[in-house]
Amino acid sequence: MNNTEKIFKQAAALISQIFNIREDEIRPEMSLYDDPEINPLDVARLIMACEKKFDIMIHDEDVHTFVRVDDCVRYIAEALFEGQQSISVSSDEEREAWYYE
Interval 39-57: pLDDT, tens: 888 888 999 999 999 999 9
Condensed to tens digits (0 to 9), the pLDDT of residues 28-41 reads 999 988 777 778 88
Is pTM, for the whole model, over 0.85?
A: no
Q: Measure the CA–CA gap between 42 and 15, rounded to whole angstroms.
A: 9
Q: What are phi and psi of 97, to 5 degrees?
A: -65, -40
Q: Measure the CA–CA gap between 63 and 75, rounded to whole angstroms.
A: 10
pLDDT of residue 3: 87
pLDDT of residue 22: 93
Which residue stretches of the chain have pLDDT < 50?
Answer: 85-90, 95, 98-101
pLDDT of residue 81: 85
pLDDT of residue 6: 94
